[in-house]
């Protein structure tokens, strides 16, 4: 196996990542927004590569994210220890129940609410990006947009540093293919009340290129 598959949501993220990948054996593909399209497209790309006799050695979900303001600054880089399906589960009078706490076995569910980052890939990126903030990155289908929901999300996931919309989907596809996975993001805005004036998307995309240079440290052979 050789090379990395780097999956982003949109073309602007893919272009930003490519800036930092000069000389790196990697394929960067924008697949669309949200966990469903990210999972389906990643699975297809992995299957096509395997069928062609050129399977990938690892999978990376990369792009911009919202960051928990008290945990990571806007413009900062985050590395996921695990990618979490933060809104996969059920509501109850006592609050949200994650899917793997609904009383069914993992075999019955066929899925867990989080996929752990590959230890070797994560260690390589941490060594190359010593200033990165490390913690869980939440995957949501609906971006958090109120102070109340932000507090609830932070309380449910005390190790979370950021949220985005694709990581868990990409992670599941990688896990199904038996490939190592890691998630790398730069922070464009604080999680909370939706205020486009506080977003720094251009700065986050600019930061994504230098962050992506760390992928040169990831073993791909």
Please report, for the chain, the start and end positions of each structural domain, with discontinuous segments joined by +: 4-217
DSSP string of 132-171, one letter each residue: -EEEEEEE-SS---SHHHHHHHHHH-TTEEEEESSHHHHH
Q: Mean pLDDT, to the nearest integer, of 24-48?
A: 96
What pLDDT does residue 113 have? 85
Using one digit for the tens of pLDDT, what is the confidence trace for 155-185? 999 999 999 999 999 999 999 999 999 999 9
Does the pLDDT value for residue 109 go beyond 70? no
**pTM for the full predicted model:** 0.92
Residue 106's pLDDT is: 67
Mean pLDDT of the chain: 91
- Residue 195 tokens read as 């205020």
C-alpha angle with apex 28: 80 to 210, nearest 5 degrees? 60
| Residues 71-98, mean pLDDT to the nearest whole number | 90
* Contact predicate 31/42, CB 8 Å: yes
Q: What is the pLDDT of residue 1?
A: 60
The answer to whether 77 touches 185, Cβ cutoff 8 Å, is yes
Which residue, among 201, 169, 179, has the nearest Cα to 8 in the 3D structure?
169
Homologous superfamily (CATH) of 4-217 is Nucleoside phosphorylase domain (3.40.50.1580)
Tell me how crowded residue 59 is: count the other CB atoms within 10 A of its CB: 25
Average pLDDT, stretch 59-64? 97
**Nearest-5° Cα angle at 28, 44 to 132:** 115
């Amino acid at each position: 196996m050789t090379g990395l598959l780097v999956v982003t949501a949109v073309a602007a993220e893919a272009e930003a990542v490519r800036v930092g990948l000069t000389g790196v054996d990697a394929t960067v593909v924008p697949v669309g927004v949200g966990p469903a399209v990210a999972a389906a497209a990643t699975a297809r790309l992995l299957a096509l590569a395997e069928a062609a006799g050129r399977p990938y050695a690892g999978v990376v979900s990369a792009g911009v994210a919202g960051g928990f303001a008290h945990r990571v600054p806007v413009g900062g880089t985050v590395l996921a220890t695990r990618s979490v399906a933060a809104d996969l589960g059920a509501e109850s009078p006592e609050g949200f129940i994650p899917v793997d706490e609904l009383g069914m076995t993992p075999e019955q569910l066929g899925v867990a609410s989080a996929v752990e980052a590959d230890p070797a890939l994560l260690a390589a990126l941490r060594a190359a990006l010593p200033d990165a903030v490390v913690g869980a990155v939440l995957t949501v289908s609906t971006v958090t947009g109120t102070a109340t929901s932000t507090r609830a999300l932070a309380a449910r996931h005390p190790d979370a540093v950021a949220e985005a919309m694709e990581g868990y989907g990409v992670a599941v596809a990688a896990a199904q293919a038996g490939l190592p996975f890691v998630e790398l993001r730069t922070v464009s805005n604080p999680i909370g009340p939706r205020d486009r004036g506080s977003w720094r998307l251009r700065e986050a995309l600019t930061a994504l290129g230098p962050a992506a240079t760390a992928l040169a440290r990831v073993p791909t052979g």
